[in-house]
Structure 1
Amino acid sequence: MTDQLSTPKGPQAMPPVVDDAAWRAALDDLRRREKAATRELDAIAAQRRRMPMVEVTNHTLTGADGPISLAEIFDGRSQLITYHHMWNDGAEFQCPGCTGYTSQFTRLEFLDNYDARFVIVTNGPIDEALAYRRRVGNRMEWFSAAGTTFGSGVDAAPGEGFAINVFLRDGDRVYRTWHTNGRGTEQLGHSFALLDVLPWGRQEEWQDSPDGWPQRPTYSGWADSTDIAHFYGEDS
């Protein structure tokens, strides 16, 4: 890992100890806020389902087997999620955040029952992208948008950031229905959700934590791309 977990020192780094009744009362109080957040997320999802959509060009991207249209990437399904992976041509290791984030998604077959698919798109050359996929042991299917304006059109132009986009297909016509980037991508993965239920949370310096909680610079606890390759890659 890129940084070692801070070792808590003394009782100041521990939650207060109470009896069971007090603990359950505190949990009930927190649960009210958790339930309110769940209901708000349900309401947001309902609004998302009522979003209009915009037609996009049926770009020709490149996959492992050569040129492929955006509509064909759906592989017969009606819905498609794409993660636009940040890319630097020729680099041995790419963005650690993108590499670590996409390493979460190892079992996506359940989407078949929902008429949907989730793939990675990058602005890099397909041969480099596929080699990197093997190097870091990524399990998703990769496509290249190199030489097209697809990345720019979905708010993930070359040299810019990552993005998640969702599309709906009607025959050969493709429509963009949703987009997010930055911390908006967190709700689609499990890594941060698991960290957030831990007593010390993510342990990053921006978080609101009690005095004495272990904290360190933001991102410093994340696995680097080399770590991902070591854990899951072709030479692991």
Structure 2
Amino acid sequence: MTAHALPPVVDAATWEHRLQELRAREKAATRELDAIAAERRRLPMVEMPDYTLEGADGPVRLVDVFEGKRQLIVYNHMWSTGQEWQCPGCTAFTSQYARLEFLDNYDAQFVVVTQGPIEEALAYRERVGNTMTWYSTANSPFGTDVGAPPGGGYAVNVFLRDGDTVHRTWHTDGRGTEQLGHTFGLIDLLPYGRQEQWQDSPAGWPQSPTYSRWAKSKDIAALYGPDAAGAR
């Protein structure tokens, strides 16, 4: 970062003009996202087998993960068996979701599913202060079948229940998950943005190696885990 890493200073009228130009593009992007969401609602779906996952109270059929709701969002958490600290990106991403009761009004449920053994998964959930419901697919092909195999990456999958039959309606992974969280949305509003080397920024803007500013899993545990100041 240089001593002159500042946007140019202009008069209010010039600033307002540039802001309106940018806003036109932002509004167009919003309308495009609306159109994408409309197309998502028109996607076909595929019927799923009757999978059995592992929960805190033992084996659970996939249809029962819905807990009576018709719609289900699953975050497939990356997992390295036996490791004390799991993927910091997944840990940080799921730490955003402390209050999910609003989904009740939309007949929907949001859970975490991981390839980790259920005992390890629940212990990690407690260690980092996560409040979502967790399940394990360690003894089921479910994770592999929805794009999150053992040793693989993270993903988001959405399902729709019709009676006792479950259908898969949507899937994304990688940066496709960003729209589901608020952290990058807030950071991208800042003048310096994410400050990662891959970003298109003016010369002299602060930039660091990708991921270097992300919170580590241990840091998240310190903030939200059982030993954090003011812990639940």
> Do the aligned residues in 1 keep the contact of 2:50 with 2:61 (CA within 8 Å)?
yes
> Do the aligned residues in 1 keep the contact of 2:73 with 2:109 (CA within 8 Å)?
yes
Instruction: Determine helix, strand or coil for the equivalent of 1:40.
Output: helix
Distance 1:9 1:218 in 2: 19
Aligned counterpart for 1:171 among listed residues 163, 167, 183: 163
Q: TM-score, normalised by structure 2?
A: 0.97
| Residue of structure 1 equivalent to 2:25 | 33
| Residue of structure 2 equivalent to 1:231 | 223
Deviations 1:101-147 (A, max 9, x none): 11111110000000001000001111110000010001111001111
Instruction: Determine helix, strand or coil for the equivalent of 2:144.
Output: helix
| Residue of structure 2 equivalent to 1:10 | 3
Q: State whether structure 2 residue 140 is matched by structure 1 residue 119.
A: no
- 1:57 positional shift: 1.1
Q: State whether structure 2 residue 49 is matched by structure 1 residue 57.
A: yes
Q: TM-score, normalised by structure 1?
A: 0.95
Aligned-residue CA RMSD (Å)? 0.7
Report the residue type matching 1:233 in the other structure: G
Q: State whether structure 2 residue 102 is matched by structure 1 residue 90.
A: no
Deviations 1:17-65 (A, max 9, x none): 1111111001000000000000000000000000000001121101111
Aligned counterpart for 1:185 among listed residues 144, 155, 177: 177
Report the residue type matching 2:3 in the other structure: G
Distance 2:59 2:139 in 1: 12
Distance 1:99 1:200 in 2: 24
Q: State whether structure 2 residue 48 is matched by structure 1 residue 48.
A: no
- The size of the alignment, in residue pairs, is 228
Instruction: Determine helix, strand or coil for the equivalent of 2:130.
Output: coil
Aligned counterpart for 1:197 among listed residues 189, 193, 197: 189
Tell me which stretches of 4 or more aligned residues in structure 1 moved more than 6 Å.
none
Report the residue type matching 1:220 in the other structure: S
Distance 1:158 1:195 in 2: 31
Distance 2:178 2:149 in 1: 21
Deviations 1:160-203 (A, max 9, x none): 10000000001110000000000000000000000100000000
| Residue of structure 2 equivalent to 1:221 | 213
Q: State whether structure 2 residue 73 is matched by structure 1 residue 78.
A: no
- 1:9 positional shift: 3.7
Runs of 5+ in structure 2 lacking a partner? none
Distance 1:183 1:58 in 2: 29
| Residue of structure 2 equivalent to 1:156 | 148
Distance 1:88 1:184 in 2: 22
Report the residue type matching 2:181 in the other structure: G
Instruction: Determine helix, strand or coil for the equivalent of 1:67.
Output: strand
Instruction: Determine helix, strand or coil for the equivalent of 2:109.
Output: strand
| Residue of structure 1 equivalent to 2:100 | 108
Q: State whether structure 2 residue 200 is matched by structure 1 residue 208.
A: yes
Runs of 5+ in structure 1 lacking a partner? 1-7
Q: Percent of aligned pairs with the same residue?
A: 67
Distance 1:54 1:160 in 2: 22
Q: State whether structure 2 residue 127 is matched by structure 1 residue 139.
A: no
